[in-house]
Amino acid sequence: MTEPHQETPEELDRQNARPVDQAAPTGQSHAEPNPSPVRGEEVLLEVDHVTLRFGGVVALNDVSFSLRKGEIFGLIGPNGAGKTTCFNAMTGVYRPTEGAIRFQGESIVGKKKHEITRGGIARTFQNVRLFPEMTALENVMVGADAHHKTSVISALFRLPRFWREEKSGRERSLELLRFVGIAHRAGDVSRNLSYGEQRRLEIARALATNPTLLCLDEPAAGFNPAEKEELLQLIRRIRDTGVTVLLIEHDMRLVMGVTDRIVVLEFGKKIAEGTPAEVRDNPAVIAAYLGVPTDAA
C-alpha cells in the first residue's frame, strides 16, 4: 500500500474546529435557478475509482465522478466525509493510494502542485492563506507570476521583457481585484483587510493563475447572509468567464442555489450524485445529514 505523500505541515493542520452552517437540505433556495450559459458536455476532470488511505483511515473509498467544462460543481458531505482530501488529491497535495485523476484527459497523479497549477487548476483553502505583510495587489501578482516566462537572468538585469511582464501582471492583477470587488484596497497590506475582503483576495489570487478549473474550499465559511449572496453572484460571474468551478461548501442554501450538479460524500464514499433537486430529495443524503440510517429516513 502506498502512503499518500504530504507536502506541507499546514496541509496536515487538521480542521480548526469551527461551527459550520450544516443544516439538513431544506428544499429552499434564496437564489433563482442557475442558468449555466456556458455548460457543455465535455469532461474536464475525472476522478476515477480513487481510494486514499491515511494509515488505517480510508478518507476516500473508491470514489468516481467527473466535472464537465463550464459547470459549477458542488462537493458536499458531513464533517470528515473526505471533501478536502479529494481536493488535495486533485491539486497534488496527496497522491491517491489507488485510482486515477485525469484533467483534460491527462493523468495528474504524481504531478507537483505547481505543475498542476500551471496546467490550469487553481484553488483556495479553508483557512485564509495570504502573505499578510504584502499588499492586496502584490498578493495577486504572486499568482500572476506563476505564468510569467521571464527568466531569473532577465529579472536580475531588468531586461525589457521583465518590465513588460511586470506591467502586464500589475494591470491584470488590478483588473482581478476590480472583478472581485476590492480594487479600492489594492495598496493596503492584506492583514489589514476585513475577513470578507481577504477571502475575495484569495479568489483573485487563484484567478491570476488563469485557471481552467477553480476549486473553492468552503469560501462562505464565516460569511453573513449578505456576503453569501455576493459570493454566489461572484461564483456565477467567474463561471460566466468560462472557468469551471468546483465548490466545497457546508452552506446548503448556497450550494443548492449556485451549483449545476453535486456529488455527496459520506465516510469517504460517494452516496449520491445529481442536480441540486435530485440530491436534496435523495433519502441517503437526508439520512447522512440528519445522522440516521438510510432505511430509517
Ligand X SMILES: Nc1ncnc2c1ncn2[C@@H]1O[C@H](COP(=O)(O)OP(=O)(O)OP(=O)(O)O)[C@@H](O)[C@H]1O
Q: How far is the CB of 165 from ligand X (least distance, A)?
A: 37
In the complex with ligand X, which residue's Cβ is closer, 58 or 134? Answer: 58
Q: Quick check: 176 binds ligand X (CB under 6 A)?
A: no
- Least separation in angstroms between CB 112 and ligand X: 18
23 contributes a contact to ligand X by CB under 6 A: no
For the purposes of burial, counting CB atoms within 10 Å of the CB of 259, is it exposed (0-12), middle (13-18) or buried (19 or more)?
buried
81 binds ligand X (CB under 6 A): yes
25 sits near ligand X (criterion: CB under 6 A): no
* Residues 6+ away with beta carbon under 8 Å from 60: 50, 51, 52, 82, 85, 86, 89, 96, 265, 268
Smaller CB separation from ligand X, 44 or 81: 81
- Ranges within 48-77 binding ligand X (CB under 6 A): 54, 57, 59, 77
Kindly state whether residue 243 participates in binding ligand X, applying the rule CB under 6 A: no
Give the span between the Cα atoms of 223 and 184, in whole angstroms: 20
99 binds ligand X, rule: CB under 6 A: no
Contact predicate 209/121, CB 8 Å: no
- Please, which residue, 29 or 85, has the CB nearer to ligand X? 85
- Cα radius of gyration (the chain): 19
Spatial contact of 219 and 203, defined as CB atoms under 8 Å apart = yes
* φ/ψ of residue 32, rounded to 5: -70, 165
Contacts with ligand X in 2-21 (CB under 6 A)?
12, 15
d(CA 176, CA 64): 33
| Encoded amino acid at 195, one letter | Y
Helix (H, G, I), strand (E, B) or coil at 87: helix
**Minimum separation from the CB atom of position 82 to ligand X (A):** 4
Q: Does 143 bind ligand X (CB under 6 A)?
A: no
- Residue 292 interacts with ligand X (CB under 6 A): yes or no: no
Looking at 25, 82, 120, 276, which residue binds ligand X (CB under 6 A)?
82
Query: Residue 206, exposed/middle/buried by CB under 10 A (0-12, 13-18, 19+)?
Result: buried
Does residue number 92 form part of the binding site for ligand X (CB under 6 A)?
no
Choose which of 29, 34, 84, 124 interacts with ligand X (CB under 6 A): 84
Residue located via cell numbers 468560462: 242
Nearest distance, CB of residue 83 and ligand X, angstroms? 4
Residue 123 lies near ligand X (rule: CB under 6 A): no
* Site for ligand X, rule CB under 6 A: 12, 15, 54, 57, 59, 77, 79-85
